[in-house]
Structure 1
Amino acid sequence: MNDDFQTSWSEPVSTQQGDTSTVQRPPVAAPLKQIVTIRLDVDMLKWFKAAGPGYQTRINQILREHMEAQQAERDAAQ
């Protein structure tokens, strides 16, 4: 569904309503992200959110670390 969705950061963005000047956003070096819906335990989500903004990034990082550890174990077993 989201494979067709790509932002165009090269498009100018107005800084204020009615402002005629534009700002160019820098190119994004991060990998593409996929929008998903995931059900998490309420207490766990509260814990991540309590640490402040960026909770989705922190969840992603923890999942990435787990994925990479699993891949390393699999590669070591081969």
Structure 2
Amino acid sequence: MNDDFQTSWSEPVSMQQGDASTVQRPPVAAPLKQIVTIRLDVDMLKWFKAAGPGYQTRINQILREYMEAQQAERDAAQ
């Protein structure tokens, strides 16, 4: 690093001591989504992609809405 460079902030105490093994990191949360392979009709996938970035999120939202509607139907029938 350039010897002339000085930061305007101080490093955490654990880093100042030079022992990186003492750095406390927050626990890693479990992933909220899971990677899967799904086969979709080509024309349907093209339609989702044509709407721009975020097509996987849109597909997920539509599946979620369907799932919730089915659950509501089931709960109403009970």
CA 1:46–1:26: 2 relative to 1, 3 Å: farther
Larger-gyration structure (1/2): 2
**Which one scores higher on RCO, CA 8 angstroms, separation ≥ 6?**
1
Structure 2 distance, partners of 1:74, 1:55, is 29
Runs of 4+ with >6 A deviation: 1-31
Q: Which residue of 1 aligns with 2:71?
A: 71
CA 1:46–1:33: 2 relative to 1, 3 Å: same
Higher helix share: 2
Deviation at 1:64, TM superposition (A): 0.1
Deviation at 1:13, TM superposition (A): 20
Alignment identity in percent?
Answer: 96
The total of aligned residue pairs comes to 78
Secondary structure in 1 aligned to 2:72? helix
Gaps of 5+ in 1: none
Secondary structure in 1 aligned to 2:32? coil
Bigger drift between 55-64 and 7-16 goes to 7-16
Deviation at 1:70, TM superposition (A): 0.1
Higher strand share: 1
RMSD of aligned alpha carbons: 13.9
TM-score (norm. length: structure 2): 0.62
Gaps of 5+ in 2: none
Deviation at 1:66, TM superposition (A): 0.1
